[in-house]
Structure 1
Amino acid sequence: MNCMHWRTDGTDSFPNWRDREDYLERFGPRAIVWVGELRTAQAWNFSPPALCVALRGKVLVGNRGCAVEVAGGDVMLTEGGSGLRIEPCTSGDARVLMLWLAPATGKGRASVQPLPAFFTQDHELAGALTRMAQATADIGADLHASLDLVLGLLARRQLALGEALEHCPGRSERHRRQLYARLLRAKHLIDHGQAVPLDLAALAQVASLSPSHFLRLFHRVFGASPHRYLVQQRMLRARRMVVETTVPIGTIAQRLGFINRCAFARLFKQQFGTPATRLRRQAMLQARSSVTRAFGSLGATQRVGYISLPGAA
């Protein structure tokens, strides 16, 4: 796959096209890389599969009804063939690399789209994309070599991601991949989306499936019901916030969509075997102990010998 770097010409800051045919007519079967400051929301009615990495700040990526935050070290691979929206998460701007992969052409394997994915703190892939961003600023750099490296890393991750395909029903691999991609939309929303209330109907709508069909398929592929998986993931996020931040426990519960703080406290203790307040105290004591040991080793008394140098005053 060849690659072109989109440079702002003073009129169009971002590459744009109407649909798949317009993309292929204007750019051919080539990937497009764009690097720049994202100050306002940008949207496309159609987008091929795209990789997004935040070089600075955070960006909100919306695709197929699923909006997730992409921070430094994260990489988002969007689902091709639908709309795409990106915007900075804060009032400030963000620096972003977008890599649009060429729309699939031909038949058979040539028509297979990559599965959507969210790679959390994938420093290997994010680093390769960052080096690609640097290559766009270097006239002598080989942009195609950077693309080959990114595609190689992506192919390995797609193989691992596709292992669950065997659990998806379908008449053909193409049909199973389409169904799996729908389920991944809902899973990504649970794993990485904003902490808003999500019920079965909302998740099924994101997956474009009926609630009953979605419930059966999600459990079959991921080994847990959507509700159970949602609670597990939000509890894990809550634990990280309890241990790694000083955000009040009640605020953590609210941010993760728990209206009832008592229900949150019961679930937390049930999940981790200890109340959130006690876990925070333990984490703080452990952190202080680590600092004390570190400073203790640095502050150990050492004998310093002095020698007289010839001719010294």
Structure 2
Amino acid sequence: MHSVQWVDRGLQLNVRPLGEGGRSIGISRMSSVQLPSGVSTLWVQVRGTAGVSAREGQFRLRRGDWMVLERDSRPTLQADRNGICVGVCLSSDTPGALGKGDTPLFPGRGRMSGSDMQIAMRLWRRIGQAADAPGRTRDDLRPLLLHMADLQRGIAAQVHLCPGRSLGRKRHVLARLQCARLFLEGHTDRVVRIGELAELASLSYWYFSKAFQAVYGESPQACGARLRLERAANLLRDSDMIVGEVAAASGFENAGSFARAFRAHFGACATAYRDSA
């Protein structure tokens, strides 16, 4: 059975294991929610921002961002003073509501247009309105899940690049790779070892490295370095941190190595980049 909960004005919600079905959740105005293991989640940031702390790392959701986390993520979300974030928590059997012929949801995050967010909100409200209706089924989740799957079509298009003899195996590998990619995005404050990513994805070192390169067109090391440089660029643009502090916050051992890497990637030194930004 599906249920709906909303927390507001600094309150905290600790979600218990769901059993069969799922739960719609909304958080706003400094409130927070903590999810247990065994629960997959999808989130849409409607207004303001929200902080996400999960096994995959630390993230900041802004208006129009969406995020899908797998069942072992155990995320905690907190809305800012003006933030509104809505989501659906899914028990392990609920994603089957999409149907065998449909593309499943993959871990990941992205942005949606204003019209897509309006559709998502309408479908999310429809789940809540149907929560107490007699004779309701898990199919009430299907329209929202299909909408989110459509937003993930860019991710799903990479399935054919994954190793594996069957479509099911390819999708499983892509889901594991997406978890590792999220881990890189959530840990841009340090260098992440490939062995750590392979263990997270439950794949061998060699198999993981080969599959990651085939799907994303860059090695895990190159992807991690690029994401850390993009974090540094954001810090230069949006904060008052000095260049040395930005380098340390982006996982570089010293200012010299950061300066060389930043110039090679952006074609300008960090100071010039900040001035132009």
TM-score by length of 1: 0.69
Alignment of 1:148-227 (within 5 A): 150-227=144-221
Tell me the residue number matched to 1:290. none
* Partner deviation per Cα, 1:6-56 (whole Å, 9 max, x = no partner): 368xxx9555326xxxx22xx4xxx52112356566231211x32123444
Tell me the residue number matched to 1:88. 78
Tell me the residue number matched to 2:67. 76
Unaligned runs of 5+ in 1: 284-313
8 Å contact from structure 2 (residues 56, 73) kept in 1: no
User: 1:252 is paired with a residue of what secondary structure?
Assistant: helix
Tell me the residue number matched to 1:45. 37
Aligned counterparts of 1:157 and 1:131: Cα–Cα separation in 2: 16
In 2 relative to 1, CA 138–105 (structure 1 residues): closer, same or farther, beyond 3 Å? closer
Q: Give the partner amino acid of 2:59.
A: E
Aligned counterparts of 1:107 and 1:35: Cα–Cα separation in 2: 23
Aligned counterparts of 1:202 and 1:89: Cα–Cα separation in 2: 30
8 Å contact from structure 2 (residues 98, 142) kept in 1: no
Moved more, 110-119 or 216-225: 110-119
In 2 relative to 1, CA 191–259 (structure 1 residues): closer, same or farther, beyond 3 Å? same
Aligned counterparts of 2:110 and 2:177: Cα–Cα separation in 1: 16
User: 2:152 is paired with a residue of what secondary structure?
Assistant: helix
User: 2:178 is paired with a residue of what secondary structure?
Assistant: helix
Tell me the residue number matched to 1:298. none
8 Å contact from structure 1 (residues 14, 34) kept in 2: no
Aligned counterparts of 1:17 and 1:76: Cα–Cα separation in 2: 20
Aligned counterparts of 1:280 and 1:36: Cα–Cα separation in 2: 35
Aligned counterparts of 2:98 and 2:238: Cα–Cα separation in 1: 49
Tell me the residue number matched to 1:228. 222
* Partner deviation per Cα, 1:274-303 (whole Å, 9 max, x = no partner): 2111222233xxxxxxxxxxxxxxxxxxxx
In 2 relative to 1, CA 36–269 (structure 1 residues): closer, same or farther, beyond 3 Å? closer
In 2 relative to 1, CA 208–137 (structure 1 residues): closer, same or farther, beyond 3 Å? closer
* Partner deviation per Cα, 1:70-101 (whole Å, 9 max, x = no partner): 32222111124x352214388x8965422124
Question: Are residue 249 (structure 1) and residue 243 (structure 2) matched?
Answer: yes
Percent identical among aligned pairs is 21
User: 2:232 is paired with a residue of what secondary structure?
Assistant: helix
Which protein shows a greater Rg? 1
TM-score by length of 2: 0.77
User: 1:258 is paired with a residue of what secondary structure?
Assistant: coil
Unaligned runs of 5+ in 2: none
8 Å contact from structure 2 (residues 188, 231) kept in 1: no
User: 1:257 is paired with a residue of what secondary structure?
Assistant: coil
Question: Are residue 264 (structure 1) and residue 258 (structure 2) matched?
Answer: yes
Moved more, 123-132 or 186-195: 123-132
Aligned residues: 262
Deviation at 1:184, TM superposition (A): 0.8
8 Å contact from structure 1 (residues 104, 112) kept in 2: no
